[in-house]
Structure 1
Amino acid sequence: MSDLFTPYKLGPLTLRNRTIRSAAFESMGKDFGPTQQLKDYHVSVARGGVGMTTVAYASVNRSGVSFNKQLWLRPEIVPGLRDMTDAIHAEGAAAGIQIGHCGNMTHWSTAGCFPVGASTGFNLYSPTFVRGMRRSECAAFAKDFGQAVRTAHEAGFDSVEVHAGHGYLISQFLSPYTNHRRDEYGGSLQNRMRFMRMCLEEVLEAAARCGMAVLVKHNMEDGFKRGIQIPESLEIAREIERLGAHGIVLTSGFVSKAPMAVMRGRIPTKTMSHYMPWSSWPQKIVISLFGSRMIRQYDFEECYFLENARKFRAELKCPLVYVGGLVSREGIERVLGAGFELVQMARALVNDPAFVNKLRDGDMTTRSGCDHRDYCMARMYSVDMQCCHNCKEPIPEKIWRELAKIK
C-alpha cells in the first residue's frame, strides 16, 4: 500500500497527503507584495490536490529582497496574504511560506541599502559590491526571522520554511566559499553555523507560540570544490535536527556559482536573455553570447538528488522532505519507499497544477507533461514562472527553435 495519499502530521500540522508544492520563485508579486496572479496560482495548486502549497522566498526584512516581484514579509501585506491563505484552506490544502534573505544577491534599488552578506566582496551574479554584516546586524537579522514567523501566522500560514541553502544569506554564512570572516561567525564549522543557529532559535520559539510547523531547506552540497561537501553538510543537518525543526528539505546547489545544480537540465540561455529587461543590458548581452559557457549544464534525470539524500536518511531521525526531479508516480513511490516522509515538486505543478489529483485518479504510470526544457526558469526572474506548454502569451519562434534543440 502506498503512503502517498495518507495524511501526515508535520509537527503541529496535519497534511492531507505527502505532497508539497516546493518554494520555487513564482515571480508573481508586485512592489514586494502579493497579487491576484500569485493567489490564483497557489489556489489552483491547492485545488489540484497537494497537501501543502508553499509561497516562495519572502524576505524577513527590506535588505533581503532582490526583485520587486519578491515578497517582503511585513504587516502591510498581511491582508493580501490572508486573502490568499483563506482561499488555499478552502480548497483543503495547508499554506506554507518560505522565509529568508538574499544576502549578497540583493541590489541597492530593491534592498534600499548597500547589499550585505556574510563577508565583504563582489558578487558577479548580481553584479554588485557587498558589505560584510556587522555583529550587531547578525543578532538583529536573527530577530527579524522570528518576527517573520509571527507575521506569517497573522497572515494565516500554517508553516514556514527557512531557506538555509542555495547560497542565500544563511547559506553564505555556512559555506567556506562565501564566509571569510575572522570573528566568531567564521572559520570553523561551529562558528559558521552560529548565525543559522541564532535564526532557527528565533524561528522555533516564535513558531512554538504560534502553533506553526517549521521546515528548513538545507544544502547537501554546494556543487563545487570550495563549497560545502556532504560530511560538513551532515553535521549541519544534525544541528538542525537537534534544534528541533519539524523537518528538513534536502537540496543542493548555489545560485551565484552553480545554479543548475539546484534544478538540473539544460537552461535555454538565449531565452533567458530574451526576457531580461534592457535596463540590464550588460547582463542581457553577456548571457546571450556566453551564457551556455558561463552556466554549467546538467543532464536531467528523475530523482536526481536521491542518491545523496539516502546518506542523510541513514544518519538522521527527523522527518525529511525530498525535492529534486519528481515527475512521475513511480519516482514519488521510489522516494517514499526509501524512507522519506514527504515530497516536494515545482516544475510538475507549473506544467499542471492538477498533477497531484491526476496521480490520485490515475495509475502507477502517471507522469507529468513537464519535459524539462526549463523555459519556466529562463523567464522566472524577469517575467514570471510559466510553462512553455501553457504560457498565456505568444512565444517567439526563435525561442521555440532553441527549446526544440534542448528537447
Structure 2
Amino acid sequence: MTAQPLPDPFAPARLGPIRPRNRLIKCATFEGMTPDALVTDELIEFHREVAAGGVGINTVAYCAITPGGRTDRHQIWLRPEAVPGLQRLTAAIHAEGSLAAAQIGHAGPVANSVSNRAPALSASRMPAPMGMSLTESPSVDDIAELTKTFATAAKIAVDSGFDALELHNGHNYLLSSFLSPLLNRRKDRYGGSLENRARFPREVAAAVREAVGPDVAIWAKLNMYDGTPRRGPLRGFDVDEACEVARLFEADGHLDAIEPTAGSSLLNPMYLFHGDAPRAEFANAFKGAMRMGLKLGGPVFLKHYPYTDTYLLPLAQQLRQAVTMPLILLGGITDRASIDTAREQGFDFVAMGRALLREPDLPKRIAADASTKSACIHCNLCMPTIYSQTRCPIRTGEVVRTA
C-alpha cells in the first residue's frame, strides 16, 4: 500500500480546538521588552513583525503567574493591570493572521529573589543562583494555592485574547523542579515516585483546563533531559521518565499537545540551544558576583554542543513512540528540509526560535521557495540580549560574523 502524502505544513491545521493557518509555531523566547512588567510598544512590534512573517501561532514569553515567579522583576506577571496591554498585543498578532499563545509558568529556582523581592521556590530547598540565596519549598497547602494561581493566570491570559496556552514544565523552572529526582527530595505525596513528582504538573494542567474551558488550546513544554549526567543515585530528569509523564498527561486528557524540550537554566542551559557558547557576552550581561561567577565558571556552566538541524529529534522520537497525542518539534528547525523531516517522523507541528530573530519573515519565504535557507549561524549571541531587549546582534549590525 502506498503511503499517503503528509498534509502541506503551510496549509491550515488543527491543534485541539484552534485552527492556525499553518503548522509553524514561534516558540517562547523571552523578549526582554517589559521593563515595568507590562506590555510595551516595542513588545507589540516585535510580535507583530513575527506574525507578519508567516507563523501560524506566535508564543509570547514569559508570562509569570506571580511576581515571585519571574526570573527578574522586568517580566510580565498576569494580573488585571496587564490585561489592556496584552489585549493590544494579541490584537496586533491577530491582525497579521497569526494566532496568539501565552507561555505561563513559575520560574521556581530560576527566579531572582532579590530582583523580585520575593523568595524563589523549588520542590526542595536548594541554592538559587540568580538571587544568591536558598529557595523555599512550598507546603502541600502552598501547592494547592499555586495551582489555583495557575488557573487564575490562565483565565487572565484568555481574557486578554490569547488563543492558546503553553504550560512551562521545562528547564528546571518550578514544575520541572518537581519532576526532577535531583531537585525533588520531598517525602510527601509530591516527592519520591515519578507519579508523585508528576502530581503537581498534572494538577496544574487539570486546573488550567477547567478554568479556560474547551475552546482554548493547551500544550505543555516538557523537559526530556535536564542535561545532568548520572552519578550513581544522583540524576536529573531523563527521557525515560519524560515518556512516562507524557503518557500520564495523555491519559489525563487536559492537553492538546506536548512540546518536548531539554536542558536546565540552572545546570546546563546550552543543552537546549546547541551551537556556540557565548561565555564572555553572557558574563558581561551581568554585574558583580554573577559576572565574576560566569567568567570563572563559564566553561562548566555554558557547555558547547555542536549544532545540527533537528538536534532534539533523537530524544523527541522516544516521546513520539510513547504517546499518540500531537507533538511539537523544537530545536534546529530552520528550513523546508527540517520541517519535512519533523513531519515525516510523526511530529504534528514545528517550533522556530533563533531563526526568527534573524529573519522574522523566514516562514513566508520558505513557503514561497522551498530552497530558502536560514541566515542564522547558531552563534547564540542572541541569548545574552534577553537582558537588554532580545534581538539578533548580527541582524542589527552590532556584530559582524559569518558562518
TM-score normalised per structure 2:
0.94
Change in 2 beyond 3 A, CA 1:48/1:299: same
Aligned to 2:217: 213
Choose the corresponding residue for 1:331, options 326, 330, 338. Answer: 338
Residues 26-65 of structure 1 mapped to structure 2, 5 A cutoff: 26-65=31-70
Query: Matched residues in 2 for 1:288 and 1:120: separation?
Result: 26
Q: In structure 2, give the amino acid aligned to 1:191.
A: N
Residues 90-101 of structure 1 mapped to structure 2, 5 A cutoff: 90-101=95-106
User: Could you tell me the percent identity over the aligned residues?
Assistant: 35
Q: Could you report, residue by residue, the CA deviation over 1:207-243 in whole angstroms, capped at 9, with x for unpaired residues?
A: 216x211010001121222111222111101111122
Query: Matched residues in 2 for 1:95 and 1:83: separation?
Result: 12
Aligned to 2:393: 388
Question: Is 1:246 the counterpart of 2:256 in the alignment?
Answer: yes
Q: In structure 1, give the amino acid aligned to 2:221.
A: K
Question: Is 1:256 the counterpart of 2:266 in the alignment?
Answer: yes
Q: Residue 277 of structure 2 contacts residue 303 of structure 2 at CA under 8 Å; is this kept in 1?
A: no
Aligned to 1:190: 195
Residues 1-400 of structure 1 mapped to structure 2, 5 A cutoff: 3-124=8-129, 126-208=131-213, 211-224=215-228, 225=230, 226-244=235-253, 245-276=255-286, 280-363=287-370, 365-380=371-386, 382-391=387-396, 394-395=398-399
Secondary structure of the 1:15 match is coil
Number of residue pairs the alignment of both structures matches: 392
Q: In structure 2, give the amino acid aligned to 1:267.
A: A
Deviation at 1:164, TM superposition (A): 0.6
Deviation at 1:289, TM superposition (A): 4.0
Q: Could you report, residue by residue, the CA deviation over 1:295-344 in whole angstroms, capped at 9, with x for unpaired residues?
A: 22211111001111111112211111000111111111111111111000
TM-score normalised per structure 1:
0.93
* Unpaired stretches in structure 2, ≥5 consecutive residues: none
Q: Residue 155 of structure 2 contacts residue 211 of structure 2 at CA under 8 Å; is this kept in 1?
A: yes
Q: In structure 1, give the amino acid aligned to 2:29.
A: A
Q: Residue 303 of structure 1 contacts residue 326 of structure 1 at CA under 8 Å; is this kept in 2?
A: yes
Q: In structure 2, give the amino acid aligned to 1:369.
A: A
Q: Could you report, residue by residue, the CA deviation over 1:111-154 in whole angstroms, capped at 9, with x for unpaired residues?
A: 33222211112123553211111111100000111111110111
Q: In structure 1, give the amino acid aligned to 2:238.
A: Q
Query: Matched residues in 1 for 2:265 and 2:22: separation?
Result: 30
Query: Matched residues in 1 for 2:305 and 2:240: separation?
Result: 23
Query: Matched residues in 2 for 1:294 and 1:346: separation?
Result: 22
* Unpaired stretches in structure 1, ≥5 consecutive residues: none
Q: Could you report, residue by residue, the CA deviation over 1:156-205 in whole angstroms, capped at 9, with x for unpaired residues?
A: 00000000111000000010111011111111111111111111110111
Q: Residue 113 of structure 2 contacts residue 130 of structure 2 at CA under 8 Å; is this kept in 1?
A: no
Change in 2 beyond 3 A, CA 1:111/1:41: same
Query: Matched residues in 2 for 1:89 and 1:379: separation?
Result: 27
More helix by share: 1
Deviation at 1:57, TM superposition (A): 1.8
Secondary structure of the 1:143 match is helix
Over the aligned positions, Cα root-mean-square deviation in angstroms equals 1.6
Q: Residue 172 of structure 1 contacts residue 179 of structure 1 at CA under 8 Å; is this kept in 2?
A: yes
